[in-house]
Copies of this chain bind each other. A is one copy, B any other.
Amino acid sequence: MAENKRIIVIGGSAAGPKAASKARRMDENAEITIYQKASDLSMASCGYPYYIGGFFDDRDQLLCSPAGVVRDSKFFWNAKKITTKVNTEVTAIDRKNKRIEYTDMVTGEKSTAEYDKLIVATGATPRKPPVPGIELDGVTTLQSLPDADYLRKVRDEGKIKKAVVIGGGLIGIETCEALHLAGIEITLIELLPQLLTFLDRQMAKLVEKYVQSKANVILENGVAAFIGENGKLTAVKLQNGTEIPCELAVVAIGVSPNNKLAKEAGLIIGKTGGIVVDTFMQTIDPDIYAVGDCIEIPNLITQNMVHAPYGDLANLQGRVAGENAILGNGVIFPGTIQTGICKVFDYGVGATGLSEQNARKAGISNIETVVNASLDKPGFMQGKLLVTKLVVDKSKGAILGAQVLGPGDVSKQVAIWAMAIKGKLTINDMVNADLPYAPPYSLAIDHSIATAHIMQNKLNGYFTGISAEQLKEKLDKKKPLVLLDFRNPDEYEQMRLGIGEKLIPLGQLRKRLEEMPQDKNVEIICWCKISLRGYEAALILQANGYKNVKVLEGGIMAWPYGREK
C-alpha cells in the first residue's frame, strides 16, 4: 500500500477535474491522477456554440481558468499537483485488484494503475441516427472540442451556405443560433411534434414561431439518409421523402451515458443507461464513485431516476465525490429538479421542475396551470416581454414547475421558481415573495409574483382560464363562441388575432353591456394584450350574470398561432 491515498479519476472534462481538484483541496498529499481520452482538459463545452457563433474568437477561452490560464497538464500539475494523462483511454476497471487498465492512444502502450478510490466521470456520447451516409464529410455532432473547431472553421471559411440541424433540443437550438450567426441558412428537423421537450406544447409552439423567423423548422420528421457525392454531404433526406440540399448537417438528438467501463466492471446501470449511485455519488462498490453525464440521478419531485447531462450538476456532483473520496462519505448531492435554460437568438427559454405533460406522466393529476405574459420591467425602462407557464399541484398549492420564455430576463425568473421549488413553497407563499424591486430591474409586482397572483385567483375560482391551445381546438371544431378583445382601437389596428373577435375597449364595457348576447350561458372568451384587462372584463361579465366566461391566458402575447395582424 502506498502511504498516500491514490485517487484515480476517469474523465477530464467537467465533473472529473472538479472531483480531482476538490480531492486535492481535502488532502494535499493524495496522489491524484486524471485519465482523459481527449487531448484537452476542463473544456467549457457549454461554450462551444458561442465560440462557433463568434461571441468570442480566442479558442483558449474555452480552456482557461478564471485567471486566464489554460488548464493543461502543466497547469494541473503546478497549480493543483494533479497528474493528468491525456490521450489516454481507460479500457477496464479491475475492481478486485483495485486497478485500472489503460492505453496511451498515441503510442498504443498499455499499462495499469492502482487506486484506493476511483471516480468514474466518463461522460456521454452523442446519439447518431442509424441511417446511411452518417459517415459523410459534412455530417457532425457538437459535443467535442474537435467538433467545435470544425464548426468554427466552417464559420471562418464562410463557404457553406446551407445546413441542416437534426434535433430540436437544447444543443440543436443553440447550434441553429451559432450557424445562423455564421450566415448559414438553416433547416431544423425534429422527430417529435414540438421543439424543446422540457416545455409544454403551447410554450414550445411560441419558441417554434420565433425560431421560424430565423430558420426553417420541420417537425414530426426524421432523417432517412444523408446523401453525398464523393464522400461529401450534399443533402439530407427526410423520412417523408423530402430532400434538403445542404453542405453541413449537425446531429443533436441527445446523448447516451458512457456506461461501458462501469457495466463491464459489474457496477449497476439504471434504466436510463446511467450508472447507479447513491447521494454520496458512490456506486455499489464503496471504492468507486461516479459523477457527471455517465450517471443517473433522482428527480426530486417525482423521485424517478433521470439522465440529466447538465454542466452545472456535473460540477456539483464532482465536488461531492471529490470530498467523499478523501474524507469518507459526508456530503451529498440529493438530485435535480431539472432546471435548464437556453439562449434562442434574442429569447431566453428556460424551465424548472415539471412541465404539465411531465407531471401528468408522473401520475400527478390534480394539476392547475396558468400562462402569464408581462414585461420584465417597466415600459419606460425598456422592459421586455416574458411569458411564463406555471404548474401547481392543486391539492396543496405546491409549485411543481415553471416554464419561462421571451426576450425579457428569463434567467432570473427561472432561478426564482427553482428556488421556490427547492424551498417547497406554495402559491400562498409566492404571492407575497419579497423580491428586489427597482425600475431598472423589475416591475413593482415582479412577473413571477404576478404569475402567482393569477394562479391564486384561478385556484380561488375568481376566473376560469382557457389556454391558447384549448381555444384553438374549440375554434378548429367550430364551437359557438363569443370572442372579445378588450384593448383600445389603436392597439387593435396594430395587432390582432382576427379569429372572429369583437373589439370592446374595457373602459366602454359597462356602458355597452346591452351589446352582449341575451343568453347568459353562452361561452365567452375574453382577452387583451396580456389578459389583465381581459380578466377585469370577465369579472364584469360574470357580475352581470354571464355564467360561462373564460379568460384567454397570457392574451395575444402568449398566442402561438398565426394572427391576422
Residues of chain A at the chain B interface (Cβ within 8 Å): 14, 24-26, 28-29, 44, 46-47, 50-51, 55-56, 58, 61-62, 64, 66-69, 75, 78-81, 170, 174, 310-316, 319, 331-334, 336-343, 348, 350, 352, 374-375, 378-381, 409-412, 414-416, 418-420, 422-425, 429, 431-442, 444-446, 449, 453, 462, 487-488, 491, 506-508, 510, 528-530, 532-533, 535-536, 539-540, 542-544
Contacts and interface: CB of A to CB of B under 8 A. Distances in A.
B423 A436 contact: no
B67 A528 contact: yes
Contacts of A529: 66-67
B78 A507 contact: yes
A44 B415 contact: no
B423 A435 contact: no
A446 B341 contact: no
A46 B415 contact: no
A270 to B, nearest CB: 20
A409 to B, nearest CB: 8
Contacts of A418: 433-436
26 contacts: A24-B536, A28-B543, A55-B381, A61-B379, A67-B488, A67-B528, A80-B536, A310-B437, A311-B444, A312-B445, A313-B434, A314-B444, A315-B444, A332-B432, A339-B436, A339-B437, A340-B436, A343-B440, A348-B440, A409-B412, A411-B436, A412-B412, A412-B415, A416-B416, A420-B422, A423-B425
A435 B312 contact: yes
Nearest to A412: B412
Contacts of A528: 67
A56 B294 CA distance: 52
- How many copies of this chain sit in the oligomeric assembly? 2
B506 A316 contact: no
Contacts of A437: 46, 310-312, 339-341
A439 B170 CA distance: 13
B316 A449 contact: yes
Given A25-B462, A47-B378, A412-B412, A341 B436 contact: yes
Contacts of A544: 28
Contacts of A78: 506-508
B436 A414 contact: yes
Given A78-B508, A79-B506, A312-B446, 4 more contacts: A62-B380, A79-B536, A80-B536, A420-B422
